[in-house]
Amino acid sequence: MNTPAQSLAFGAPGIEPRWTSSAKDGIGTAYHSASCIWFTLSHGIINEIYFPHVDSPNTRDLQFLITDGESFCHEEKRDLLHKTEYPEQNALLYRLTNSDREGRYRLVKEIVVDPHSSVLLMHTRLEILDEKLRGKLRLYALLAPHMKGTGKNNSTWLCGVGGRKLIEAQREDIDMSFGCTPDFTRRSVGYVGFSDGWQDLMDNFKMDWEFSEAVDGNIALMGEIDLSGGLEFTLGVGFGHTSHSACAHLLQALATPFADQREKYVSQWQRARARVDLSAHTSDGGSMMRLSQCLLLAHEDKVFQGAFVASLSIPWGDTKDDTDRGGYHLVWTRDMVQTATALLACGHTESPLRALIWLACVQAADGSLPQNSSISGEAYWKGIQLDEVAAPILLAWRLQQANALRQFDPWALVSRATRYLILHGPVTAQERWEEASGYSPSTLATIIASLVCAAEFARGKQDNFAADFLLDYADWLSAHLEEWTVTSRGELMVGRPRHYIRITPADPKKAVASPDPDNAVMFIANGGGKHHARNIVGGDFLHLVRLGVRAADDPVIVDSLAVIDHILKHDLPQGPGWRRYNHDGYGEKSDGSAYDGTGVGRCWPILTGERGHYELAAGRDPLPLIETIEKFANSGGMLPEQLWDADDLPDGKMKRGSPTGSAMPLCWAHAEYVTLVRSHKDGVCFDRIEPVYQRFAKGGTGSGIEMWTLAHQSQKIVPGKTLRLITDKAATIHWSFDGWMSANDLEMRDAGFGCWFADLPSDQLPAGASIVFTFLWEQGWEQKDFQIGVAASDQTLIPTG
């Protein structure tokens, strides 16, 4: 390798590095797994380039600086007008047109990834519309590395390989090579804020510096484009684990004409188009539908296949330093199951099956799944969310219904998860918004549906005993839903005191179960304050209808809808939107400044989709809400996590109905849209579990059993019900109905998947009686008595001993 004489840039280590805007206009990758590059776009330029994994950003941005050398220097992302187009259907091919505000010139760029190597390619055409600028415009490519997810401790230098003028950057075991066809005429590297190319050009509109090295800092690379032979050229950014591999990959990719690379890139994506034509069930001819399924597929890692991250964006990234990339580059089981389900709705089966098997490999021996994980499967945050434990069971059932499990047997995954749910539920340590513990309607809906699916799998194993046990537990949960999660004293809407609440607070570490939705008090995260739980509402209960646990016309459901519409609904220019819950603090502040731990939660497009599923279940047309979601997307077709739902702010800082600085695109939002479109085609919610719907929404199945576990120690049982004790290991139950004046022993039975149980004959006990019992384990006595009172259904007894 031939390296020029050293000329070290000044200003080390540069300014404190920052990430860039979360408001992406596009994301892309090659469909082929041989190419381990992903990229994002915003403001007309490339932002993060990821390598070698979907969670590993290595750049902050790549843009052009344009100058006439005398009177102006334009920064592409700030000074030009931007237009994003998709020139080919069913492909993540982008055409970016960035135009001078005075109409003097424009840049037309197309971006692809080499389908068979880790190289990003950007073909650019400069169109000069003002003849006075012909021969005067100078174009400079400015690239800011953030190798291995940080702008700190990066090093860069000029190099020559194979007679080509390249620029390299490196940190630890990742190397990046930057070049152009034709070659750069001049090159320089520097420290951001001091000796970088932006500082150089903005001074006098000329490139005065040609530093050959900048080490161990926040750096930027700049190359002058050779326009002497024409106004079209191709930039390339190649990656590898050595300098040689990065440079070789880059030059190999540049050796193939861009038109050929483009054709291969597009054809591979088009072969991955949706297997089910849903275009007729959209309001835009299927445009966003096609884009959404490509976006979902693109969020899967190519080495750790089956791992889908939540978003290739960093919420409020332009306000965050390198210590905070947020949690969106992680795998969230809930989000990934939503993505996999949406891909199933498109007719894809291979990616959803890979996702299920990936989850089976992440699942712990006790059946739990981490709150979120790296793509390699390592738990990141350590919380437990019961809906995430249950969700893979639903995915397994849907794959089975699609005859897509192939030779994978999900019973180990399913049985372990059900065991965990029964032994640790129904109180979840975190609900789906990761912020509160207790009895959550959406979590309970997911658990109930998953247990019915698990019973179906058990019957497939010819284990009717286990299947009946699982259905008994699901029936018990369903029978207690209103008691646990519905208030009769709501004060949010006159005439509607009885409705579902967001969550009934409870601590999963406190085993004594005494849920009180009427009187419990909760602290809301992100500065939301302290409130009576009965007056905090969200649309989480809609999962009960979506999955088939409750009918759409259930009176409590209908009243709850009226309440959330009164409190959470906002009419936006595109159509209705809903906030997650009242007093939500996760979002921009009222002045439009970034969320920093407190703020105001805004409308989520996801929730418009969830409402669309309810409308369908209620026999109404969801197409107006499908159209609303399509209009929520930005110019690049990306759906955000949140939308600004207040009045416009001055200077265009925030506009009503426009995306906020939250994550964009959010896979969950695109998955919700796709699934709603498929539901519209089918005339029934795609997520609905038919045996759940038949058992509960239509059949109204009740429960004659009261469940008791060490994690959830029920304090009452109504007359006529059997008491079922469930543990994680065998024991002898020592019990009495008369305060130990007499006693009986009962051996526990194996339910078939690691749960043991015994039924006490309490169904003949009158109100006012009490049940006392303890356990004789293999290692000895429990050393504690447990007591349950028999009460009328509207009473709660607190044990006296």
As annotated, the active-site residues are 431, 434
Q: Please return the burial class of 386, using the count of CB atoms within 10 Å of its CB with bins 0-12, 13-18 and 19+.
A: buried
Q: How does 29-68 read in b/e, with b if 16+ C-beta sit within 10 Å?
A: bbbbeebbbbbbbbbbbbbbbbbbbbbbbbbbbbbbbbbb
Of 144, 159, 161, 152, nearest in space to 222 by CA: 144
Rounded distance, CA 241 to CA 250, Å? 13
Q: Distances in Å between the alpha carbon of 712 and those of 390, 514, 515, 771? A: 18, 9, 11, 16
Total residues belonging to the chain:
801
Under a CB-based contact definition with an 8 Å cutoff, are residues 504 and 533 in contact? yes
Give the end-to-end CA distance of the chain in Å, rounded to a whole number. 82
Residue by residue, DSSP assigns 303-319 as SSTT-B-S-SS-TTGGG
Of 123, 143, 161, 166, nearest in space to 261 by CA: 123
Under a CB-based contact definition with an 8 Å cutoff, are residues 625 and 608 in contact? yes
E strands within 367-505?
438-439, 486-487, 499-500, 504-505
Rounded distance, CA 562 to CA 542, Å? 12
Q: What is the largest CA-CA distance in the chain?
A: 106
Residue type for 554, please?
Answer: D
Rounded distance, CA 640 to CA 667, Å? 9
Alpha-helical segments (H) within 583-700: 605-617, 623-632, 667-682, 690-692
Under a CB-based contact definition with an 8 Å cutoff, are residues 74 and 626 in contact? no
Query: Which residues, at least 6 apart from 27, have a Cβ–Cβ distance to it below 8 Å?
Result: 38, 39, 40, 41, 92, 295, 298, 299, 312, 638, 665
Residue showing tokens 């447990």: 786
Rounded distance, CA 627 to CA 639, Å? 13
Rounded distance, CA 512 to CA 797, Å? 12
Rounded distance, CA 376 to CA 368, Å? 17
Structure tokens of 87? 């020139």
Query: Which residues, at least 6 apart from 8, have a Cβ–Cβ distance to it below 8 Å?
Result: 211, 212, 213, 214, 215
Alpha-helical segments (H) within 197-315: 197-204, 243-255, 258-271, 287-298
Query: Which residues, at least 6 apart from 790, have a Cβ–Cβ distance to it below 8 Å?
Result: 716, 717, 718, 719, 762, 765, 766, 767, 768, 769, 770, 771, 797
Q: Distances in Å between the alpha carbon of 286 and those of 89, 138, 293? A: 10, 41, 11
Q: Distances in Å between the alpha carbon of 159 and those of 8, 211, 244, 499? A: 14, 12, 11, 68
Q: Hey, how many other C-beta atoms are within 10 angstroms of the C-beta on 521? A: 11
